[in-house]
Amino acid sequence: MPDEKETVAPKRRLSRQEAQCSIAGCKRPYRAKSYCVVHYQAWRRGEVEGHRARYRTCSKEACRKPVAQGGLCTEHSAAGGEAAAAVG
C-alpha cells in the first residue's frame, strides 16, 4: 500500500453559545476576551484578580486608576510631588 496519510479535520472554533467564561465556576456564555458579560465588565474596571489587566494600574493599595507616571496615577503622583515640595 502507498503511504496513507491520515486526514485530520481542522479544529473547529466554538460558537459564542458553546464557549463559556474562563473564570472558574462561571457557566455563563462567552462574550469577549474569554469572559462573560459580568466578568468582562469587571475586567474592564480592573477588578478581576489573577488575570491580565487591561492596563497598568496605580501601585498604591486599593487604587485601580491607570498609571500616569512612575507607577502612580495622576492623583497619587501629584500628591507625591506636593509632599516632596513640603519636605524639601
Q: How many other C-beta atoms can be found within 10 angstroms of the C-beta atom of residue 48?
A: 19
Model pLDDT for residues 29-68, shown as the tens digit of each residue? 888 888 899 998 888 877 877 777 667 788 888 887 888 8
Same structural domain for residues 69 and 42? no
For residue 78, the enclosing domain spans 56-88
Residue 85 and residue 80: Cα distance in Å, rounded? 9
Phi-psi region of 7 (alpha: psi -120 to 50; beta: other; left: phi over 0): beta
In this structure, is residue 66 part of a structural domain? yes
Q: How many domains does the chain have?
A: 2
Q: Based on the domain organization, do 36 and 68 belong to the same domain?
A: no
- pLDDT for the residue numbered 4: 64
Q: What is the mean pLDDT of residues 17-38?
A: 85
Single pTM value for the model: 0.49
In a domain, 60, yes or no: yes
Same domain, 65 and 36: no
What residues contact residue 63 under an 8 Å CB cut-off, 6+ apart?
Answer: 57, 73, 75, 76
Q: Quote the pLDDT of residue 16.
A: 62
Say whether both 20 and 48 belong to one domain: yes
Tell me, rounded to whole angstroms, the distance of Cα 9 from its chain centroid.
32
